[in-house]
Amino acid sequence: MSKIRTQLMLCGGTACHSRGTSAVRETLEKELDRRGLAEEIQLIETGCNGFCAVGPVMLVQPDEIFYQKLKPKHIPHLVEEHFLKGRPVEKLFYAESASKETIPNMENIPFFAHQMLWAMRNKGLIDPEVIDDYIARDGYFAAAKALQEMTPEQIIREMRISQIRGRGGAGFPTGLKWDFARRSPGDVKYVLCNADEGDPGAFMDRSILEADPHAVLEGMIIAARAISAHQGYIYCRTEYPLAIRRLNIAITQAKEYGLLGKDILGTGFDFDIEIYEGAGAFVCGEETALMRSIEGKRGMPRPRPPFPALRGLWEKPTILNNVETLANVPQIMLNGGDWYASVGTETSKGTKVFALSGDVRNIGLVEVPMGISLRTIIFDIGGGIPKKKKFKAVQLGGPSGGCIPEQHLDIPVDYEAIAKVGAIMGSGGMIVMDETTCMVDMARFFMDFVQDESCGKCTPCREGTRRLLDILKRICDGKGRPEDIEDMKELSHVIKESALCGLGQTGPNPVLSTLRYFEDEYEAHIYEKRCPAKRCVALLKFEIDPDICTKCGLCSKVCPTEAVTWKKKTVARIDKEKCIKCLSCFGKCKFGAIF
């Protein structure tokens, strides 16, 4: 054991970095040095801790004290009090938002208490840029086992027993996919890792790559052994610079140790990995488009079959797995398929990582066992909806997914159960929406995204999503027509039936799923020219309801154009000639008197 008595695990994920981890780190180093503690106290920058909402966060070990929202100005006090004098600083603890009660230990914070860390087992525990840290946590022992003790058939058998399904969204059984590729004839095969995470609000893969890049590399080595491939590619979007940097470091270190390259661990097995940076086109997350992109062509899907397991990259048998799926593989090899299958529901086993965002208190990354209810994730782990607003719906699965309203919140996290209520498990983006969200506007946002990202190869997707967007825009502008709802339904079904790839086939889902649960909002927009959530500016009248107005006058004070007139003890008035619809008064009125 070294002289170190305390380790400071400072979160260095992208979210915490954007909130100032670098500055905190610098100040910490300076202060520790100034106090002569640099030898006793070690500062380690880890990957994403998951609790992004309160970042930058730091866990002090072995005390297990969790500090949040750190700023450089806090550091001198913190170093003197806690690290020198041993008195934890309470004002930097996490505080329960309802009771204001502070919780010093990480394991007692509700956000962490309900989680089950398998794919993210090393998050916040290791320095992702130090391979020895990963090895200390059993890293590369699964690869050693797979290469030395197991045949490809045995590896695939374990994968099939585990019943793990693809975590990228579609949920295809991974073991089966590998089996197809193994059986495909050919000497040259490829293992690909899909790190082209593109759904709005999704950041699971990025966080895993930033926190534990070696787990993904190890998963790929095992996959390569299972199908006898000798070359792998990680397709990662270029917008993830930190993930790419850490992957590059990890690959270099693994090569130095001979864990990648020729004759891995002296077993005679060769496998190498390269990173391919994608330019951020959403469609390149689709498997056939992704492969074309690696080949150097324009990223467009092609019809399947033939499936990639038969003819994939450069027409050779290929498997493509999501980051999260691969991060689970080493654990399945070490602990066995039965262990993995012991958690979850009948058809969905193991754990799932979700990126919780939107109108929820504890924004961040959570890993939960399959079968847990959505309500537990949003209200217990997520801490519920802030600002005393009411829950309206949760959007799962990005643009291809759908939204789930309050009445279905008790369904378990399970591929089939989620599909039954009109959404998809997806890659794990979970966007919570409160009552101030307009569902028509939300559908418009996602349709804008799909339309923008459509590659243009097939007509239904290229033209159809464009027309859907036009109709949605018109409805939001208050020019909706009575036939719009039926037209959208018909058009959506045509697109679903005829589009070439997954992006197009699921493209109309935002419209269909909002229509399924919130058709009344569409009707209010179209027939009454009214936006119930008061989000669509074109539908706001900018008038003040005298019954609700408390005559406080705040609206008139914020108005930049003096359009709001108010005298003491009178209801304010808005002069529509002067009003520029900036919504300032709207945001200020606590009572919702402006409509």
Partner 1 sequence: MAKLSIQDLKKIKEDAAKDMVIRGGKGNIKIIVHMGTCGIAAGAREVMATLMEEMNEANRQDIRVVAAGCTGMCSSEPNVTVEVEGEEPIVYQQMDRNRMRQVFKRHVLKGEVQTDFALARG
Q: Map residue 585 onto helix, strand or coil.
A: helix
Smallest CA-to-CA distance from 91 within 110, 69, 108 is with 69
Left (φ > 0), alpha (ψ -120 to 50) or beta: where does 473 sit?
alpha
Determine, following the binding rule CB under 8 A, whether residue 498 of this chain makes contact with partner 1. Answer: no
Determine, following the binding rule CB under 8 A, whether residue 1 of this chain makes contact with partner 1. Answer: yes
Looking at beta carbons only, is 33 or 256 nearer to partner 1? 256
Determine, following the binding rule CB under 8 A, whether residue 258 of this chain makes contact with partner 1. Answer: yes
Stretch that binds partner 1, among 49-57, 137-145, 165-173, 567-575 (CB under 8 A): 137-145
Q: In this structure, are strands 102-103 and 190-195 parallel, antiparallel, or unpaired?
A: unpaired
Q: Which of 23, 144, 249, 558 binds partner 1 (CB under 8 A)?
A: 144
CB of 13 to partner 1, least distance (A): 17
CB of 330 to partner 1, least distance (A): 13
Work out the end-to-end distance of the chain between its first and last CA atoms, rounded to an integer number of angstroms.
67
Q: Which of 26, 90, 96, 263 binds partner 1 (CB under 8 A)?
A: 263
Determine, following the binding rule CB under 8 A, whether residue 107 of this chain makes contact with partner 1. Answer: no
Q: Which of 30, 95, 105, 257 binds partner 1 (CB under 8 A)?
A: 257
CB of 122 to partner 1, least distance (A): 10
Stretch that binds partner 1, among 125-133, 221-229, 375-383, 445-453 (CB under 8 A): 125-133
Contact positions with partner 1 (CB under 8 A) in 54-93 = 61-63, 82-87
Stretch that binds partner 1, among 3-11, 185-193, 240-248, 299-307 (CB under 8 A): 3-11
Helix crossing, 152-162 with 213-227: angle to 10°?
120
Handedness of CA 171, 176, 178, 181 (dihedral sign): negative
Looking at beta carbons only, is 97 or 252 nearer to partner 1? 252
Looking at beta carbons only, is 264 or 329 nearer to partner 1? 264
Query: How many Å apart are CA 491 and CA 525, to the nearest integer?
Result: 20
How many binding residues for partner 1 (CB under 8 A)? 39
Binding string, residues 443-482; x marks residues near partner 1 by CB under 8 A: ----------------------------------------
Q: Hey, what are 287's tokens? A: 């498997």
Q: Is 279 exposed, middle or buried (0-12, 13-18, 19+ CB in 10 A)?
A: exposed
Determine, following the binding rule CB under 8 A, whether residue 217 of this chain makes contact with partner 1. Answer: no
Determine, following the binding rule CB under 8 A, whether residue 268 of this chain makes contact with partner 1. Answer: no
Query: Which residue pairs, CB below 8 angstroms and at least 24 apart, start in 377-383?
Result: 377/114, 377/413, 377/430, 378/409, 378/430, 378/432, 380/110, 380/114, 381/110, 381/111, 381/114, 381/115, 381/356, 382/111, 382/356, 382/432, 383/97, 383/110, 383/111
- Listed in sequence order, the residues at least 6 apart from 305 whose beta carbon sits closer than 8 Å to its beta carbon are none
Where does this chain bind partner 1 (CB under 8 A)? 1-7, 9, 36, 40, 61-63, 82-87, 125-126, 132-133, 135-141, 144, 148, 256-259, 263, 265-266
